[in-house]
A and B are shown apart, each in its own frame.
Chain A
């Protein structure tokens, strides 16, 4: 299995909603990532987990809360988002931190 699976594929939420994005990989990778991507821009790093520990938080607002329950799963909990948070949210994994990232197909998030 060489896939990173993300759910849901699309999400529309209001500014008062709470939702979660989910990511799963079964490649035995020890690093997992959340990226945010706006149209026509490169992926922008949000969080990195290495060996299930948070190793990088790129000063992301607290309305985004990551969680790594085990080595195969990564969640991103969303609360009180703003319209400017609308974007494609990509999960990725790699054998070790920064090596050969495999991306999921992303969650297209719209905040109304």
Chain B
């Protein structure tokens, strides 16, 4: 089955710096890669996602890149702010339904943005 590895487990940056979180997946049939942000005591929230037919997607200060050949995808946050501090989870799935299809989460990255 699918396995998703995520690194680093913790990341501390200064406000205004960039942060990069990396994930590797094992199943080459996976084609949908979302990222979730979970603030302390809150629900996970989808912040950006990418499908395997594109290599990069941006939304303001957040971008995701996908390398299908290497089975890597990464989250990039520029100009970090204290409110970016949270746990970030990557995930992978085969997408588009299917009765046995499920989202496999990475182990999470605790991002701390120091003011």
| Interface residue ranges, A against B (CB under 8 Å) | 31, 40-43, 45, 48, 50, 55-56, 90, 96-106
Contact = CB atoms under 8 A, between A and B. Distances in A.
Main secondary structure of the interface of B (DSSP, over half): loop
Interface string B80-105: 00000001010001111111111101
Contacts of B26: none
A55 B102 CA distance: 10
B43 interface: yes
Main secondary structure of the interface of A (DSSP, over half): loop
B34 A97 contact: no
Interface in B46-93: 46, 49, 87, 89, 93
B101 A104 contact: no
B96 to A, nearest CB: 7
* For the complex of A and B, 8 pairs with smallest distance between CB atoms: A42-B105, A103-B43, A98-B93, A96-B97, A55-B99, A97-B97, A98-B101, A105-B43
A56 B100 contact: yes
Contacts of B101: 97-98
A105 B38 CA distance: 11
Contacts of B49: 100
B102 A99 contact: no
Contacts of A40: 87, 108, 110
Contact of B44 (A31, A43, A45, A99): A43
